[in-house]
A and B are shown apart, each in its own frame.
Chain A
Amino acid sequence: MTELMQYTITGLSLGMVYSLIALGFVLIWKSSGVANLAIGQLVLFSSWFTYGMLVQAGLPPWLGIPLVIIFALMLGWSVERLALRPLIGQPILSLIAVTLGLAYFIEGLVGIIWPKSLASLPPLFPQEPLRIGSAVIRQEFLWAAVISIVLFVLLSIFFKYHRMGIAMRATADDQKAVQACGIPVTRIFSQSWMFACVLAAVGGIRISSIGNISKAPLVEMGLKAFSVVILGGLDSFLGAIIAGPIIGLAETIGGGYLSKVAWEGVREVIPFLIIIIVMIFKPYGLFGEKRIERV
């Protein structure tokens, strides 16, 4: 029971990080039709940048974290402007491949600036564990979950009521109509990239403040967010928010109990197995529009 409780809380918290990252993906996909495979590397870059700000430059979190957000905004803007803008209207293969090139580039850049393979952030959340019943839960997880929920709410309000949010939804719906209404579509594209980078950065900070900042596992973290996207449906914000905790729970609960019967570390592949299963049985996901062509 205690075990289950712990798995549940960790899973939910982890899943919400996936949701955040996945939201960034869905945002870009909906507004510009680009499949951003470099999302893991965006998480990687902003996590290490946080390390640079908080540890190497020794800034306090109230100053360092906003700087990271500003950095993420700039990163998103420049990625869209330099790599994606010239390819507007190209076949999907090129759009996927350019993000792969981006992934390579960012990974190399991070390797040059931060050659260490492991680092840790100073604790951002209170450390003492909480007791719920017989389960002992690290307070960090709860704080992380709270931050995610606050972000979800803010994002929903933004998309529902803010001018820019409405413009973004409209672009996702029909690019041509939006352009005819005088909304600059390219600006929406770059805004969605900026947003996605901020979401990736928040996800990265949350993950690395709880565990370590690493290289390959962080990238894999971003890739696991794809299973959220696939399960929730590529073009559904709601799907991403709901599917995140599902994947997180499947990873921790499934991994926790299966590791007794299967090989050690089975939780690492559960999101990828879910991808394959969803692909075979329900390719448009739980909430995705069933527009995908059956061929």
Chain B
Amino acid sequence: MSLPTGIRNYTYAEDMAILRTRTHWVLLGVFLLLLFTAPLYLNDHWLGIVNRIGITIIAVTGLNILTGYCGQLSIGHAGFMAVGAYTSAVLTDRLGLPFLASLIFAGLSAGLIGMVFGMPSLRVKGFYLAITTIAAQFIIIWIIEHWTEVTGPNGIMDVSPASIGGIALKTPASEFYLILAITILTVYGAKNLARTKVGRAFVAIRDNDLAAEVMGINLFRYKLTAFFIGCFLAGLAGSLMAHTSRSISPDYFQFKDSILYVGMIIIGGLGTTTGPILGVVFIRLIDEFVTQLSPTLQTAFPNLLPGFTSGIAPMIFGLVIILFLIFEPRGLEHRWQLFKAAYRNWPFSY
């Protein structure tokens, strides 16, 4: 069904290949070329946005593994990002660890914290688990706000820039390449994880955990693995965020960000690899569009309510999430599949 007309699989390797036709390879090549040359035709403002998109894709891919594949709803992902961000900032600034080491440690610490809060998932699910992760979000942020000897009174304001092998990545363009590399690795890893034994176990747990257990899937192990992977990626994203924005405070990791991440995977499409990417890009571009547009609207219509600029973006996000759930619960990814199918079968789409 997903193959173009006239193409068949003759070997197992062909069947499993992500890229099957020459067109796939060419399209991927062109896409990567466009991505890697992006700093040539994007100014710093847009590069900043692209960097934010990349970081969010990493975090949301993690959330997607946890929620989309394994079915464990987490509404505390911003909290786990905060763990990664603070670990990384403290390790590089106070203890002088190199960036790459603290990046890994950031992921590990966020993953471990995620596993701790994922423990109740062994006994409860659905709404109960959602509440637990909300509690996790508030407890984590509260600790960060109050453990001021380590986390600074108002956050950490002078995080050192990311540096690899003595080269400090200070410009948006160099940060872009770092984030791009990690994002590509993450997405590639997530795509392949979904096709391994672990990924299939996740899907089995999501679809029917009882049946999964009967089939011999160790729920304890796989649920905690899902929490670890999801939060590990959140930690990586948090670390990247700390070292590119160069200052972190609890305000960056609010409860509403956690909600927004859930919204992103819903809009993009749960349990798919492309979904989170589409969702993040969609939301972030709306965000940017609204930010650009609202001052103009404000001057054009002076009798607009004064809170318009700050309030319109959340309103639109909320509305978009609700509308997607009602009208397209399978997300943008489904639309993308429909488009691809239409393209493949054109002009004989029957």
Q: Which residue of B lies closest to A111 (CB)?
A: B311
Q: Which of A84-92, A198-206, A244-252 contacts B (4 or more CB under 8 A)?
A: A84-92
- Interface residues in A169-195 by Cβ distance below 8 A to B read none
Residues of B within 8 A of A268 (CB): 138, 142
**Are A108 and B311 in contact, CB atoms less than 8 angstroms apart?**
yes
- Interface residues in B89-120 by Cβ distance below 8 A to A read 117, 119-120
Residues of B within 8 A of A234 (CB): 127-128
CA–CA, A90 and B126, complex, Å: 13
CA–CA, A109 and B308, complex, Å: 9
Main secondary structure of the interface of A (DSSP, over half): helix
Q: Which of B17-25, B173-181, B239-247, B254-262 contacts A (4 or more CB under 8 A)?
A: B254-262
Q: Is B219 an interface residue (CB 8 A)?
A: yes
Q: Is A269 an interface residue (CB 8 A)?
A: yes
**Are A115 and B263 in contact, CB atoms less than 8 angstroms apart?**
no
Q: Which of A126-134, A138-146, A159-167, A272-280 contacts B (4 or more CB under 8 A)?
A: A272-280
What is the size, in residues, of chain B's interface with A at 8 Å between Cβ atoms? Answer: 57
User: What are 6 A-B contacts defined by CB distance under 8 Å?
Assistant: A108-B317, A269-B142, A276-B117, A280-B123, A292-B128, A295-B122
Choose from A87, A96, A103, A105 the contact partner of B73 (Cβ within 8 Å). A96
| Min CB–CB distance A226 → chain B (angstroms) | 5
CA–CA, A115 and B262, complex, Å: 26
11 additional contacts (CB under 8 A) given A108-B314, A269-B139: A93-B126, A94-B325, A98-B321, A101-B320, A104-B318, A108-B316, A112-B311, A272-B142, A279-B120, A293-B125, A295-B125
The interface centre, meaning the residue of A93, A229, A265 with most chain B CB atoms within 10 A of its CB, is A93
- Interface residues in A236-282 by Cβ distance below 8 A to B read 263-265, 268-269, 272-273, 275-276, 279-280
Residues of B within 8 A of A279 (CB): 120, 123-124, 128, 131-132, 135
CA–CA, A223 and B213, complex, Å: 33
- Interface residues in A104-118 by Cβ distance below 8 A to B read 104-115
> What 1/0 mask marks residues of chain B from 63 to 101 whose CB sits below 8 Å from any chain A CB?
000010001010100000000000000000000000000
**Are A112 and B209 in contact, CB atoms less than 8 angstroms apart?**
no
Known: A111-B311, A272-B135. A104 touches B123 (CB 8 A): no
| Min CB–CB distance B6 → chain A (angstroms) | 38
> What 1/0 mask marks residues of chain A from 8 to 51 whose CB sits below 8 Å from any chain B CB?
00000000000000000000010000010100000000000000
Residues of B within 8 A of A275 (CB): 131-132, 134-135
Known: A35-B127, A107-B256, A279-B128. A101 touches B318 (CB 8 A): yes
Residues of A within 8 A of B123 (CB): 279-280, 283, 294-295
Q: Is A102 an interface residue (CB 8 A)?
A: yes
Residues of B within 8 A of A96 (CB): 73, 126-127, 130
**Are B319 and A223 in contact, CB atoms less than 8 angstroms apart?**
no
Known: A263-B147, A280-B123. A98 touches B322 (CB 8 A): yes
| Min CB–CB distance A271 → chain B (angstroms) | 8
> What 1/0 mask marks residues of chain B from 293 to 321 whose CB sits below 8 Å from any chain A CB?
00000000000011110111111111111
**Are A272 and B128 in contact, CB atoms less than 8 angstroms apart?**
no
Residues of A within 8 A of B117 (CB): 276
Residues of A within 8 A of B132 (CB): 275-276, 279
**Are B131 and A226 in contact, CB atoms less than 8 angstroms apart?**
yes
CA–CA, A84 and B125, complex, Å: 21
**Are B213 and A108 in contact, CB atoms less than 8 angstroms apart?**
no
**Are B311 and A110 in contact, CB atoms less than 8 angstroms apart?**
yes
CA–CA, A219 and B318, complex, Å: 16
**Are B305 and A115 in contact, CB atoms less than 8 angstroms apart?**
yes
Q: Which residue of B lies closest to A227 (CB)?
A: B135
Known: A108-B316, A279-B132. A100 touches B263 (CB 8 A): yes
**Are B263 and A105 in contact, CB atoms less than 8 angstroms apart?**
no
